[in-house]
């Protein structure tokens, strides 16, 4: 599959977000951009291949919880998560959430992780976000990538274009500021995982 150019990705974003910089509540839902956005979400939520992917992941990660952590309409992606928990020698455990974000606007995905330490007394640290999964879970991340590519036929989001601005557009789930391609085509708060 040929990689997307910066211009192509910006064009996709422009097709799904109306001009302006207002927050979600104030947008005109009758715009052609909003209609395309809504149609993309309707299609994504009815996508049989997504359910199939989740089943494949459950088989690929036996003994590990796998979940659909999509927040429809709050980002531009479906998200799946593999929960990797390891005990710590002094008690407690490390909870790594390995996630795959799959754009509903373009055939792109990104795999990332959060890591949280849960102490023996059940208090925890704030999850740390990793745009690239840490080395100690690389094997799991590669397995997730293989399934995303094989099951969905998607390609990795080009991270070198992640911070490219999408000028003058209202990204529905983004309150203020100029959105980036990563924010417009996947999401702003990817690290917010249950």
Decide if 80 contacts 53 (C-beta within 8 A): yes
- Residue 91 DSSP one-character state: S
Checking if the pLDDT of 7 tops 90, the result is yes
Number of residues written out for the chain: 194
Percentage of residues in the chain having pLDDT higher than 90 = 77
Q: What is the pLDDT of residues 156-170, one digit of tens each?
A: 999 999 999 998 887
Task: Find the mean pLDDT for residues 95-108.
Answer: 98
This prediction has a pTM of 0.92
Pairwise pLDDT comparison (179 vs 22), residue with the higher score: 179
Q: What is the DSSP string of 148-178?
A: IIIII--EE--GGGTT-B-TTB--TT--SSP
Task: Find the mean pLDDT for residues 129-151.
Answer: 97
pLDDT of residue 175: 62
H or E element in which residue 108 lies: strand 108-118
């Amino acid at each position: 599959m040929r990689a997307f150019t910066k211009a192509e990705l910006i064009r996709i974003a422009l097709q799904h977000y109306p001009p302006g910089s207002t927050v979600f509540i104030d947008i005109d839902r009758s715009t052609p951009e909003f209609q395309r956005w809504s149609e993309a979400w309707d299609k994504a939520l009815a996508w049989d291949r997504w359910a199939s992917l989740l089943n494949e992941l459950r088989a690929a990660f036996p003994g590990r919880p796998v979940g659909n952590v999509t927040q429809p309409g709050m980002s531009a992606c479906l998200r799946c998560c593999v929960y990797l928990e390891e005990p710590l020698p002094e008690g407690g455990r490390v909870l790594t959430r390995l996630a795959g974000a799959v754009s509903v606007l373009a055939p792109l995905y990104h795999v990332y992780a959060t890591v949280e330490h849960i102490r023996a007394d059940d208090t925890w640290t704030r999850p740390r976000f990793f745009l690239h999964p840490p080395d100690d879970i690389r094997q799991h991340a590669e397995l997730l990538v293989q399934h995303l590519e094989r099951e969905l036929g998607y390609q990795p989001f080009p991270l070198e274009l992640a911070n490219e601005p999408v000028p003058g557009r209202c990204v529905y789930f983004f309150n203020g500021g100029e959105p980036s391609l990563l924010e417009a085509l996947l999401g702003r708060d990817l690290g917010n995982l249950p």
